[in-house]
Every structure is written in structure tokens, then in C-alpha cells.
A = this chain, B = another copy of it.
Amino acid sequence: MVRNISVESLKQKTTIEREVELVERKGIGHPDSVSDGIAEAVSRSLSKYYLKEYGKILHHNTDQVEVVGGQSAPKFKGGLVLEPTYILLSGRATTKVGNDRIPFKSIATKATKEFLKQEFKHLDFDADVMIDCRIGHGSVDLIDIYDTTKLRSNDTSFGVGFAPFSDTENLVLSTEKLLNSKDFKSRMPAIGYDIKVMGFRQKDVINLTIAAAYVDKFVKDADEYFAIKEELKEMVKKHSNEITDKEVNVFINTADEEDGKKVGEYLTVTGLSMENGDDGSVGRGNRVTGIITPYRPMSMEAAAGKNPVTHVGKLYNVMSNLIAQDIVKEEGGDITEVMVRIVSQIGRRIDDPHVASVQVIYADGVDPSKHKNNITAIADNRLDHISDLTKMFVEGKISVF
């Protein structure tokens, strides 16, 4: 197969050479990430069921989850959840195979609860969450075209990726990972799951702004609250020094203080802001890179919950990043930045995209013509093995948010 792979040399500043850079990560407990996590968990569970019962993954896209925030009254030493968070599952699935009815709603509901239980240990599942499932069966036209053995694209869509990560990107992503790690939670249980990290670099200074929900029962008063905040700030600064040589200013829960006065606390009962009015939905948060990068090319595609076999919005976004990373890795110092876009066309085989477009920024003095063939080969090779991604999605080995 001869694929339409375009390799273009860009003469421009790389992201890290530019004056301003902005990077955001919505942590695992942010309502948008909760939605993504549920959508992907439901897709994984359905996929496993289909594989077990029918030997292949049947059509589904469970990329529609709406988290409607509850109401709570947090207070030092422990407050109350007043109204449960309402979680609506929608999307579609294959609900019948011959005469077999698939327990799709039960699978979806169970996957949701298991995801929440695994990630957020302060939730009381009998009182804090209500789950509703309106997953339906799919559009007639699309189901007809969808035959997983042919592996044709389900849509005219595209994926984008880039490499390498800048310091700001690495810092934002790793900071949230650190703060939501099991190890960190056991050391500093007062810091909850809803952690939003924003990195804003202007020239060589990175401002790292963190909004972190506290778990109220682990904080006895305002003094302890602000003491923990100081401690957290030091930990983040220390972590920053391991990631970057740039100057990093750390700001935590900036709404707590106004003009130098302490004016409030960011407390929650469960460590999740969705307990108190914060809503979320799939596809509005992190990209498949784990971060939001408005200074980088991005796809609007909601990857979480999409079927991992033929949905190019899921496959091509991940694939683009993998190709970009391969190129940077293999071509070493000659290449300073790579952007990859892969465009599908509905009905076309997924391993044969309409175009795979690679844009490369070379280091000074490098001759692009020396790299073009190898770059093409890298993209070609990855596309040859695109089906490998499916298994990795099902096993949860690739994160999409």
C-alpha cells in the first residue's frame, strides 16, 4: 500500500523558543476528567464483554457523559454532601447480537461505579452519586457501514500530535500526576483529587497556578489549611526544580487570598468539586496528550469513550503523537519539533488515511532531504500496525485524557 504521507519542512520558531506558552491539565478529579474517565471505562468494559462473548469488539461510542454537580456543605473536620452528583451516561452500543440481548446498561453502570471507586476513595456510593444510563443503539446508517472486520473509517475526521514536550508541558503534567499519586495521597491526605494545573511561561519564567480541592475532614482549621498550602507549595517547587532549569513561580488556590488577606478556603467533603455544583462532560478537558495546549495544534475530538477499533478521532490522535515521538527519538538532535496530522475519509480503510501530514522544524543547518525518507518510513510503519492500538486501549495501557 502506498500511503499519502506528506513531509513538510517548516522554518519557524519552535514552541519553546517563543515568548509565551500556555499549558493546562485538568486532574483526574476535575469534572471533565471524571467524565472522560467514565466514558473510557465504559468503552473498555463493553469491549471486553464483546471480545469475550463474540470474539471481536462490536460497535459502540460511549463518549457522552454528563456530570451534573451536586451540593455540599464542607467544613473543617468534615462536612456533608447534601445532594448527590448526577451522572448521565449516553452514547450508543451494540445492544443485540442475533437473539442475544447485551447487558449494556448494566455493564456501563458497573464500569462507572468501579472507575469511581478505584479513583476516588472519599465518595460514599450509597449517598453521593446517582447514575443514569440512556445509552441507546446506534444510527442505522453508521451501524451499516461499521463492520469491524473491514476496519474502515467511521467518519471524516483527523488526529493531531506533536513532539517533544516543552518544559512547561512536562512540568504541568508531572505536577498533577505527582499530586494525585498514591504515594503523595498517603503523605498529604488533605489534598483531594480535583487538581487543576496551569502553566504560563513568559520568556524564561513559568507561572504554575494550581487549584487543589482540600478534603475537609483532614483539616482542622484555617491555620492548618494555610500551613498545608505552604507545605504543598514547597513540594511543588522542589518538584519543579527536578523538571526544569527555568524560574518557576508557584501559586496555589489563589482565590483563598485577596490583597494579602486570607478570605476563604477551597474545601470539599470528597476531594471533588463536582460535589458542589461543578459540572463536567466528555471531551472538554485534556487532549490525548494529557494536557491542553493552545499554542500547539489540537483536535477537538473527544477520544474518551470512542470505540477503539475504527474511530479515527481516537486512533489518529494517539497515532499522531506516537509518530511524532518516534521521529524526534529516531532523528535525534537534527529535529527540534514535529507536528503530525492524520486525516481520514469515511469508508476508507483506517490504515490508509486520506493524508498523513508531517511538519518538521529542523535544527539550524540540517538538510531536510536527508530525513524525509526515514520520516515517511516511521509513519508508514506505525500505520501498518495501527491495530495494535486497539488492544492497548482495551487493556487501559493508553490514556486518552
Contact = CB atoms under 8 A, between A and B. Distances in A.
Contacts of A92: 69, 277, 279
Contact of A90 (B136, B140, B279, B284): B279
Interface in A88-115: 88, 90-92, 101-107, 109-110, 113-114
B132 A86 contact: yes
A274 to B, nearest CB: 10
Interface residues of A, number: 101
Given A69-B139, A276-B139, A106 B88 contact: no
Contacts of A140: 276-277
A188 interface: no
A126 interface: yes
Contacts of A200: 343, 354-355
A156 B64 contact: no
Interface string A143-175: 011000000000010101000000000000000
Nearest to A297: B294
Contact of A211 (B101, B110, B156, B354): B156
Contacts of A264: 141, 144
Nearest to A129: B109
Contact of A8 (B19, B107, B138, B283): B19
A177 to B, nearest CB: 20
Nearest to A135: B68
A254 B156 contact: yes
A81 B66 contact: no
A112 to B, nearest CB: 8
Interface stretch (A9-17, A215-223, A378-386, A387-395): A9-17
How many copies of the polypeptide does the oligomer hold? 4
A278 B137 CA distance: 10
A182 interface: no
Contacts of A64: 66, 68, 279, 281
Contacts of A71: 101, 105, 136-137
Contacts of A321: none
A333 interface: no
Interface in A264-297: 264, 266, 273, 276-279, 281-285, 287, 292, 294-297
A109 B86 contact: no
Contacts of A266: 141
Q: Which of A86, A103, A198, A211 has its CB near the most chain B CB atoms (within 10 A)?
A: A103
Nearest to A80: B103
Contacts of A101: 71, 73, 82
Interface stretch (A232-240, A298-306, A362-370): A298-306
10 contacts: A66-B281, A69-B136, A82-B102, A83-B133, A84-B106, A125-B125, A141-B255, A156-B198, A254-B345, A281-B283
Given A71-B105, A156-B211, A158-B294, 6 more contacts: A6-B20, A69-B136, A83-B106, A109-B127, A125-B125, A200-B354
